Copies of this chain bind each other. A is one copy, B any other.
Amino acid sequence: MKIVLAQQNYHIGNFEKNTQKIIDAIQQAKKEKADLIVFSELCICGYPPRDFLEFEDFIEECYKAIDKIREHADTIGVIVGSPMRNPEKEGKDLFNAAWLLYEKEVKGFAHKTCLPTYDVFDEYRYFEPGYSWNTVEFKGKKIALTICEDIWNLGDNPLYRICPMDELIKQNPDLMINISASPFDYDHDDDRKEIIRRNVLKYKLPMFYCNAIGSQTEVVFDGGSLVLDAQGNIIKELKYFEEDFAVVEMFVDGRPLTANESNLHHKANTEQRSSNNIPFDKEMRVAKIKDAEKIIEYLTSENNIRQIHDALILGIRDYFGKMGFSKAILDAEQLSKNLGNRYDIIPIENIYDSFLSTLKPVFENLPFNVAEENIQSRTRGNLLMAIANKFGYILLNTSNKSELATGYGTLYGDMAGGLSVLGDVYKMQVYALAKYINHDREIIPENILIKEPSAELRPDQKDSDSLPAYDILDKVLYQYIEKRQGPKEIIAMGIDEQLVNRILKLVNTNEYKRNQFCPIIRVSCKAFGVGRRVPIVGKYLS
Contact = CB atoms under 8 A, between A and B. Distances in A.
Interface stretch (A52-60, A205-213, A429-437): A52-60
A56 B291 CA distance: 19
A354 B157 CA distance: 63
B382 A378 contact: yes
A144 to B, nearest CB: 21
A24 to B, nearest CB: 18
A395 B319 CA distance: 31
Contacts of A289: none
B318 A57 contact: no
A540 B354 contact: no
A164 to B, nearest CB: 14
A527 to B, nearest CB: 12
B12 A50 contact: no
A443 interface: no
A296 to B, nearest CB: 23
Given A161-B90, A390-B369, A355 B351 contact: yes
A54 B416 CA distance: 30
Interface in A38-69: 46, 48-52, 54-58, 60
Given A89-B158, A161-B90, A354-B350, A57 B488 contact: yes
Contact of A355 (B318, B382, B541): B382
A385 B374 contact: yes
Contacts of A369: 389-390
Contacts of A48: 535
Q: Which size bracket describes the interface of A in this complex? A: 35 or more
A530 B532 CA distance: 12
A358 B362 contact: no
Contacts of A58: 486, 540
Contacts of A125: 117-118, 122, 533
Contacts of A128: 161
Contacts of A323: 512, 536-537
Contacts of A216: 535, 537
A387 interface: yes
Interface string A109-123: 000000001100010
A537 B215 CA distance: 9
A49 B512 CA distance: 15
Contacts of A515: 518-519
A354 B48 CA distance: 44
A540 B374 contact: no
Contacts of A457: none
A366 interface: yes
A340 interface: no
A531 to B, nearest CB: 9
Nearest to A381: B412
B412 A387 contact: no
Contacts of A378: 378, 382, 385, 412
Contacts of A385: 374, 378, 411-412
A445 interface: no
A217 interface: yes
Contacts of A412: 378, 381-382, 385, 412, 416
Interface string A518-535: 110000000000101111
Most chain B beta-carbon contacts within 10 A, residue among A52, A90, A372, A418? A90
Contacts of A124: 117, 124
Closest 4 CB pairs of A and B: A57-B486, A13-B540, A371-B389, A412-B412
30 contacts: A12-B540, A14-B538, A14-B539, A46-B535, A46-B538, A49-B535, A50-B533, A50-B534, A56-B486, A57-B486, A57-B541, A90-B158, A91-B158, A92-B282, A124-B124, A216-B535, A322-B537, A323-B537, A346-B359, A346-B362, A348-B358, A358-B383, A359-B387, A363-B387, A363-B390, A366-B390, A371-B390, A379-B382, A385-B411, A516-B516
